[in-house]
Structure formats: C-alpha cells, structure tokens
Amino acid sequence: MQRQSRGETLKREDFPEACYVFDPKRFGEIKDFFFLGGFAAVKGRLAEVLQEADLGAGGLIQVPVFEADKQTELPGPFYALNLTVRKDTFRADESVNLNALRTIERAGMELWQQYANENDQIAVSALALEEGPDLWIDPKLKSTLFLSGALMTAIRQARIKEGYLRLLRCRIVD
C-alpha cells in the first residue's frame, strides 16, 4: 500500500489476491470510489470511465470480493487502482489548509497533508495542464489524487457520486 501511495508500478501479485466482506451493510453503502484491502479502488461507472482514460503504465487491477464465507463472490467487478504516474506539480507555498508532515533534508523534499475543503485551496504549477496521463499523484502531497480536466469532465458527465472521492478544483500558478 505504501508503494502504491508513492506511485510505484506494482505487479498483479503486489495486490490482494481477493478480499472479503465482513460487514455487508457497510460494504453495500460504498460509492464508486472506495478502499479495498487498503488500496484505492473503484467499481461501477467510475471503473468504466477510468477504463477509457489514460492511466499511464498502471491501470485497473481486478480483485474478486467475497462474502465472509470466503466462497460466495459478490457481483462486481471491483478494481484496485495501480497508480503509476507521478508529477511534481504541487505548490505548497501557494496552497492553504496544509500540514507539513516531515522534511527530508538530504533529498530536499517535504511531505504535506492537505485539508482542502473548497475549490482553489490546492495550488499546482502549469505542468499539471500538460498532455499525459489523466490520473496522477504528487510525491509531496499525501493521500491526494490529481485528475486531468478531461477526466473530471468524463466523471461529471457519468453523474458519478463522489463518496470518498472529493473532487476539488486546483488553482494553477506559475
């Protein structure tokens, strides 16, 4: 899971072989974006939209999900996200609602946690607008996915309910 959050390319065997649901009521309430065995995961219309998107070298890894009896497979499909694209676009100096988690002086890198709850609180450089994959992470910002404008449009057109996927617009700065 830590390797996934850093955007490292994972192999199929790095993901869960299968997952099991021990709280069917709670699992029945999940939206199209959720966490599966600790991995960012998708299902339904969001999975369909992402299958059409440019996810770089990563993509969607199908993971079977079973009831607590470990025999009865739940109707899916369910997919873990193989997040392989990293872009260095986050601008902490122009963003608000941040908390510095740690600084790695040897590497000259800082790790931030964001608490954005409104559009434009997270600032990114114009590099975020460049062509390339539609979904990426920034190694300086923990627990945040960045989506291209085209992917945002596709998600909104599909009328996907956000759930854990809080969609906020970033502010572009130079």
Per-residue pLDDT reduced to its tens digit, 114-129: 667 788 888 999 988 8
pLDDT at 26: 92
Residues 83, 94, 173, 5, Cα dihedral to 10°: 0
pLDDT at 99: 64
- Residues 137 and 112: beta-carbon distance below 8 Å: no
Nearest to 35 by CA among 26, 157, 9: 26
